[in-house]
Amino acid sequence: MSINDCKEFGSCDWKLTVYLGNSQEGIVLVNNVEADSNEDITLNKTFPIPSFPFTVNCRVQEHDGGIGAGWEFVGEEKKKITGPGEYYINLSNNEGDVTIHFTVYNTGEAGSGLSKSWLDTKQAIGVFRAGAGDYKLITGEWTVFQTQWIALSKKGLRLIDLETHMEGANRLFTGVFRAGNDAHYLWVGVDYKNFVAKWEELSKSGLRLIDLETYVEGNQRLYAGVFRAGNDAHYMWVGVDYKNFVAKWEELSKKGLRLIDLETYVEGNQRLYAGVFRAGNDGYYLWQAKASDFLVKYDELCKKGFRLTNIEIYPE
């Protein structure tokens, strides 16, 4: 909340009450907080909203000093929220002038916290296997996702898969969580040199990379990784063309390493590949082809006792 003008001699004391949706019960976010003109009051609050549209009603009061003084009304406005974005409410009278800024974004567990109209515009593909135990699927902007990751980690859940994509001007992160109590780590939004340094540090601490993501933010390529406890042999090979990648895959496979995660992306005009390897002695296969031919090979390998563990789909 920005204080544009405190129309008192000295600082003003402010109160902000917010009403969400049809609720008649106000939420007091600021109560008797002192701030002068051109100063900000940090709110740092997050509230779940079930669906769009909904309304946000903000009421601001300012406290006059002196004997018998009380709260003076500055202004109140109800704003209809129809979707994600940045929103501003300006309230002003002879008692003061303030601007309230808040951000609305899509976030939540699968099937809740995301409006049906928004969900109906998206496509999702998932790989399922038999399992039991607790689980979660979370989507949100980074600050919300990180908060959820911390909370779920304390509840005995571990992130096993991370995805990221842009939603308008906002980057969203989606995570799959399964029950677990082992050591773990999440490292997100750094350049390759920084990521490799962290990968080496965590590897020495008994953690193994299980999922790698790369994306572009601005003009910079960034990396994110999910780590779980492990002390087996491992390897990471990033940013090479397909011929180079296959050569390394063959070399590592012969040494008892198995590809567990594959990423592909375009850098400049060249398609590049990145892979995460862990120890293994089972059968293995890597196949790249147009989708129709891929499905033929998929059926063939399944009949031979292979199971698909990771897939990347891209235009060429």
- AA identity, residue 251: E
CA distance 220 to 216: 5
Q: What are phi and psi of 44, to 5 degrees?
A: 50, 50
Bridge partner residues of 97 (DSSP): 5, 92
Quote the pLDDT of residue 68: 60
The pair of three-digit structure tokens given for residue 311, joined into one six-digit string: 């897939």
Bridge partner residues of 33 (DSSP): 14
- Long-range Cβ pairs for the range 36-39 (8 Å, 24+): 36/3, 36/6, 36/10, 36/11, 36/12, 37/3, 37/4, 37/5, 37/6, 38/3, 38/4, 39/2, 39/3
17 vs 46 pLDDT, higher one: 17
User: From residue 94, how far is each of 25, 26, 61, 68 by CA, in Å?
Assistant: 27, 24, 12, 20
Domain ranges in the chain? 2-104, 108-282
Residue closest to 165 by CA, chosen among 126, 191, 139, 204: 139
Out of 70-84, 111-125, 138-152, 295-309, which region has the weakest mean confidence (pLDDT)?
Answer: 111-125
Quote the pLDDT of residue 121: 65
Interval 171-194 mean pLDDT: 95
Instruction: Name the helix (H) or strand (E) containing 137.
Output: strand 135-141
Quick: pLDDT tens for 278-287.
Answer: 999 999 999 9
Quote the pLDDT of residue 24: 86
Quote the pLDDT of residue 170: 82
- AA identity, residue 154: K
pLDDT band of residue 88 (cuts 50, 70, 90) is: confident
Q: What are phi and psi of 53, to 5 degrees?
A: -85, 165
Interval 79-102 mean pLDDT: 86
The pair of three-digit structure tokens given for residue 5, joined into one six-digit string: 């003008």
Quick: pLDDT tens for 109-166.
Answer: 444 445 555 556 666 777 777 888 898 888 888 888 898 899 899 999 999 999 999 8
Answer whether 98's CB lies under 8 Å from 14's CB. Answer: yes
Of 46-50, 133-137, 171-175, 223-227, the range with the highest mean pLDDT is 223-227
The pair of three-digit structure tokens given for residue 94, joined into one six-digit string: 């002879």
The pair of three-digit structure tokens given for residue 113, joined into one six-digit string: 């916290």
The pair of three-digit structure tokens given for residue 316, joined into one six-digit string: 């060429």
Q: What are phi and psi of 83, to 5 degrees?
A: 180, 180
User: From residue 179, how far is each of 102, 149, 160 by CA, in Å?
Assistant: 34, 13, 10
CA distance 201 to 225: 13
Q: Which CATH fold would you assign to the domain 2-104?
A: Immunoglobulin-like (2.60.40)
Q: How do 234-240 and 39-40 pair as beta strands?
A: unpaired
